[in-house]
Every structure is written in C-alpha cells, then in structure tokens.
Structure 1
C-alpha cells in the first residue's frame, strides 16, 4: 500500500513539475490546425506515394501562419496573385502569403526519403 501511495505521489509531483516548467518556458509549443498531404511526383501533379518517392507538404492558416509570416520579413517584391494588398514572404523553402480575402497561409514541405526541406506550395 505504501508503494502505491509513493508511486501516485511521485507521479503527481512529476506532473506538477512538468506543468510548471511548461508555464515558465519562454517559447512554448502551441497547438495549431493545418493540412498536410503525403505524395509522390511534383507539386501540382501529385500522385500516390510510392516506396521510392514520398514527400510531405504542410499548409498552415490563420493566427499561426500570421506569426510565421511576421517572423520572416521583408515582403517579397512580387506576389503570385497580383491582387491589391496581397503580400508574400519566403525564406528558402518556406513560403507565406497574405491577402484580404483568405488571410495568412504558409506552405512548407519535406522529402521523406532524404529529410531535406522542399517547397510545400506553388505560386
């Protein structure tokens, strides 16, 4: 009985310590909603993933995309849409856009066979 109480007490103490550590972390992880696809081939002509070709593309929208967008200035000189007020920012293979109709969106991807960063969206 004493062992069970000790195990429960230790578990509670560790849980509390973890929660306290998370609250004090200066850059905590946050939840987000997004979409992804695993595919083969190229963006714009995706096929079912194969044994030798598997890529992963992510799309993040809303507030998380806005935070990513704001973290990677400056704006690109040109945008894909050409719409008035549209903005675009890109760093290597990460690409984020803003337009008044759909808000903020970010795209990025990985080649799952090599682990290398690849584009996650097309202009």
Structure 2
C-alpha cells in the first residue's frame, strides 16, 4: 500500500506543480522524509494524512482508494484462456490484496486515533 500511496503523492504533487521541498515544508518534515513517502519506503504518510489531503485538496478516501478489484481482475484474469483452477487462484490473489488493504487502513485509523488523544 505504501508504494501505491507514494505514487499517488508523486502524481498529486506534480499535478499541483509543487516540489518535494514545498510539500515537505507544508508537512513540517524534511524533503528526504517526504521523498521516502513518495518512494513507498515510509509509512509516515499516515501520520500526516489530514494535512496531505488538505494540501492536495482531496478527500481521505481519494488518497487511500486503490481500485484494486478492476485493475487486478483485468490484468490477471482472461476467463476465456484460463482454466477454472487458474481463475480461482486469481480470485485468491484479489482477496489477498483486499486483506492487505484492510490491514493498511487499520494502521491509518490507529495513527489517526493516536492524534486525537
């Protein structure tokens, strides 16, 4: 999930014609810390979740939404060419992706709840 969020951060930043340093300044972190977020090497984006949504003018759902179902299904499943066992294996992969996404969202919620205390 960190890589997906990182790619979104990079695309959002470029769409706003902002530098990594500008975003990092807004988040009150170093440019290198922000660069690690964009590369998917850091989970600290969860700590800055609300400010990230604010700077890029997006909803929290837009930041974490993956669209995993359609993209994974289209890239992995061609039901005309795969056997029933192959299709079941693809569905297992899709389910695993959803399970990972749920775990990532639980971590986000945990970090957000820490900030409320």
Q: TM-score, normalised by structure 2?
A: 0.22
Q: Which has the higher contact order (CA 8 A, sep 6+)?
A: 2
Give 1 or 2: higher strand fraction: 1
Q: Which has the larger radius of gyration?
A: 1
Q: TM-score, normalised by structure 1?
A: 0.21
Give 1 or 2: higher helix fraction: 2
